[in-house]
Structure 1
Amino acid sequence: MPAREASTSLNRAIAILKVLGTAEGARDGVGVVRIARLIDREKSQVSRTLKTLAEAGFVVRDPRTLRYRLGWQLFTLAVSATQQHLTSLAPHLLRQLVANVGECAHLSVLDGGAVLTVLSESPPRTEQAIQAEEWVGRVAPVHCTSAGGALLLDHTEAQTRSLLAGQPEMDAKLAALLDRVRLARRRGYATVNEDFEPGLVAVAAPVRDYRGEIVGALNISAPKFRLGRALAAAGREVRAAADGLTRALAAHATNRRIS
């Protein structure tokens, strides 16, 4: 395919996806004739492009109305983009959080029924720097971690129960986790006090994407003798940092839509 023709086809596909991303497309779907009229293209061209997009999973056709909507493959890419933006925007907020609290800070995400640490920052003290590096890539249970409590803030009891299904002493773990989540909803942050590891306390707050959905959690963890008495103050700092990352994700999404 000549470069010029390929460019035209790509532009046509982009125009179609933008039409399907409007309120009209989300509500009722859009038919071929309507799309062709809106983007000022021939119906046959639009049909061919829609067929290609459907084969790739970017659009779906309602067999009853014959109208098109955005497909799940597009939403999958959007989620992937959000994760990339999350890890690219988080380091600055983590460094600021470390400067304010003086302890190791982490970015965690929900990985199935566990909490996965994907980024860490530490104060310029060798011992704590080593501890922070050890957290990256580490998987921890949701039921006894502050990040787990923050990441499950929007989960129903049934959803939370399903995450713990099959675990020993599930009822006791579920009760403790639900209590932690309820308290976190009121405070805006979740805490653990030696629940995960003896002598360790931690606090975490949720990070949301432009849709308001929780996509990660920022948390501070430290020995109890250092942070135990200042856990509430650290919680407010973590919540402020998480809110800042949430705003950064929303602003990035807005800028992308405008451009």
Structure 2
Amino acid sequence: MSQPTATASNISSMGRGFEVIAALTELAITSGDGASVTAVAEHLGRDRSQVSRTLAALDRRGYVTREASRGYRLAWRWYAEAQEITEVRLRTDGLTILDELATAVGESCFLGVLRGADTVTIVESVPPASRMIGSWIGRAYPADCSDAGQAVLWDADDDEVRDVFAVASFDGAGPRAPRSVEDFLARLNAARERGFAIVDEEAEAGLYSVSAPVRDFRSEVVAALQIVGERSALFDRTTELGEQCRAAAERLSAALGAPASE
């Protein structure tokens, strides 16, 4: 009879450990700092001494670290592993969601990330009826006029955006491309108010797209999900496609562990 009791005890301890780790993650997102034993106990509605023992055990095993302020935070290896998982799931779950979206809207869908002052496509789903030739995966395009540019910079403040485009030439090939960083910022602010970005002949003549940000477990923007096609086919469907794009981006964000939006 002793073995089942020990197993149950181990499972119970493991469960408490995961609860505490989850609480530290949530508190870190809220405060951006380490959390005290009292804060974790209050967050979980648990006894302080029990939480203190759990945190001490996690500290000994290298899962959390104790700061000089006596608060606790997750060890860096958790973030490194979570980042690796995020990279994988962006591609796996991202492809699934893009395939569903492309089928639903009948247009090409892409997932792009920011690399310096460029955006790079990492996943794409192109329906059979699309006229697109070749693949965009791995190809870079200036973020100031790309389909993903506004969405990947969704949470950046004005100074951060200016830093990204410090050496940008703003000579986009499209007839409606922004001609300065201030022009780009005005379009970005309008996109935030709208809830999704519109890129109207900024990358090239006749090309139109909507995009929305994708967030990870830290609630940080890590990618942009886009619906791209000919302006003549997409313009009159802007609101419909924008909402579908945003909903798909939220589904992918949830798959990456992003907290639910309020």
Same fold by TM (over 0.5)?
yes
* SS of equivalent to 1:250: coil
Deviations 1:110-155 (A, max 9, x none): 2233211100001113743x34xx2111111221123111111111
Give 5+ residue unaligned stretches, structure 2: 1-12, 29-33, 39-48, 172-177
Equivalent in 118, 125, 139 of residue 114 of structure 1: 118
Q: How far 1:96 moved relative to its partner?
A: 1.8
Whether 1:70 and 2:55 are equivalent positions in the alignment is no
1:224 Cα shift? 2.0
Provide Cα deviations, 1:218-250, integer angstroms capped at 9, x if missing partner: 101112233233333322221122122223333
1:248 counterpart residue number = 255
> 1: CA distance between counterparts of 2:69 and 2:255?
41
Residue 53 (structure 2) aligned to one of 28, 38, 43: 38
Structure 1's 111 and 73: CA in aligned 2 closer, same or farther, altered over 3 A? Answer: farther
Residue in structure 2 matched with residue 200 of structure 1 by the alignment: 207
- 2:195 aligned residue (177, 185, 188): 188
Alignment partner, residue 102 of structure 2 = 98
Contact 1:59-1:68 at 8 Å conserved across structures: yes
SS of aligned partner of 2:257? helix
The equivalences for 1:137-148 within 5 A come to: 137-148=138-149
Shift of 1:191: 0.9
What letter is aligned with 1:95?
D
Distance 2:86 2:20 in 1: 22
Report the secondary structure of 1:115's partner residue. strand
Measure, in 2, the Cα distance between the counterparts of 1:94 and 1:177.
27
Q: Which residue of 28, 31, 42 corresponds with 2:36?
A: 28
Report 1:140-219 matches (<5 A).
140-168=141-169, 172-219=179-226
For the structure 1 residues 14 and 159, does the alpha-carbon distance in structure 2 shift closer, same or farther, using more than 3 Å as the test?
A: farther
Opposite residue 165 of structure 1, the aligned amino acid is A
- Say if 1:219 and 1:63 are closer, same or farther in 2 by CA, change over 3 A: same
1:20 CA displacement:
6.2
Match of 1:4 in 2: none
Structure 1 unaligned regions, length at least 5: 1-11, 255-259
Between the aligned partners of 2:60 and 2:236, the Cα distance in structure 1 is 62
Q: Which moved more, 1:18-27 or 1:118-127?
A: 18-27
Measure the CA separation in 2 of the matches of 1:232 and 1:20: 40
Shift of 1:86: 2.2
Task: Provide the secondary structure at the position in 2 that maps to 1:140.
Answer: strand
Contact kept in structure 1, 2:152 and 2:224, CA below 8 Å: yes
Letter of the 1:201 partner, please give it: Y
Give 4+ residue runs of structure 1 displaced > 6 Å after superposition: 12-18, 34-37
If the length of structure 2 is used for normalisation, what is the TM-score?
A: 0.70
Q: Is the 8 A contact 1:143 1:176 kept in 2?
A: no
Please state whether the residue corresponding to 2:246 is helix, strand or coil: helix
1:29-65 deviation line (CA, Å, top 9, x unaligned)? 79xxx8997259xx9xx6xx96884xxxx65553575
Deviations for 1:80-122, whole angstroms, at most 9, x for unmatched residues?
A: 2122222221222211211222111001122233211100001
Cα distance between partner residues in 1 of 2:190 and 2:130: 34
Gap change, CA 1:194 and 1:72, over 3 Å in 2: same
RMSD: 3.7
1:231 aligns with 2:238: yes
* Equivalent-residue separation in structure 1 for 2:93 and 2:237 (angstroms): 27
Change (3 A) 1:37 1:144: closer
Q: 1:117 to 1:169 in 2, by over 3 A?
A: closer
For 2:219 and 2:51, locate their aligned partners in 1 and report how far apart those are by CA, in whole Å: 33
